[in-house]
Amino acid sequence: MKKLLRSKANFEILEGFLSELLKDSIHILEILESEGNKEDRRDKFNRVDLKVRNQKNEVIIIEVQYDREFDYLQRILFGTSKVLTEYLNEGDPYSKVVKVISINILYFDLGHGKDYVYHGITSFQGLHHQDTLELSENQQALYNTKKIHQIFPEYYLIKVNNFDDIANDTFDEWIYFLKNEEIKENFKAKGLIKAKQELDILKLPEQERLAYEKYQDDLHYQASMVESSYTIGKLKEKRKISVNLLKAGLLDTQTIADMTGLTLEEVEALQREIFPD
């Protein structure tokens, strides 16, 4: 699952998963460097499996965790805090603090609760009037958001093992897949079909998987050869037209370059070949 989500060639999978969870059309701009790339597994910063930036310039942290950790909640708090400081440049106003979303796919029982997806946000409640603090109009314009909780980090805890295998919506289809590595015929969640294709390849015996990867490399090579042959042919055609125009002597070299798509230097080189004196 980590390999599927990390693959830069498969943004379609990650975008589908995030779109279904966040109930929004998510477009991944880039995968960011994270501590998960470090070699030493004992490094306390070696926590984040995947960190991406979306079209809203939000930073999304994704972690897949199998082993029980009693301090896991403090761990994800530390992770989001670290991202906040990483992406605030010296001298920037606090209004430039990046929005962070922490998504945790858990295969162990964290805390005490019956649900399989928990969402955590920050809100401020009045002690006397029990009202919820809201942003002023000026703050909404400054932060480009309407709700206070949209400024602060958000947390999603997906307790995969708590899922009852009954998919009531498209995100449930993703959780079913995360738990069972299986996609039912009627599933239609974004990114799932591509995930199924890639997972089937990863689950092949090593020899068959290597053979498939070689087959894919061969396809890319053949496509490159066809493209190269086409490019060479077009270049020969441009050179032939340029030669004919130069021999006719009706146009200057810059005009010929503009007409054929060759560079001025290439046309002048052809001119010297035709008229060496």
Segment 210-231, tens digit of pLDDT: 654 564 565 555 666 666 677 7
Indicate the SS3 state at residue 103: strand
pLDDT at 10 over 70: no
Q: Between these two residues, 105 and 66, which has the higher pLDDT value?
A: 105
Task: Kindly state the average pLDDT of the residues 85-112.
Answer: 89
- CA distances (Å), origin 55, targets 22, 43, 60, 110, 118: 14, 31, 11, 31, 24
Give the model confidence (pLDDT) of 31-48 as tens digits.
776 544 444 444 444 445
Indicate the SS3 state at residue 63: strand
Please say whether the beta carbons of 159 and 153 come within 8 A: no
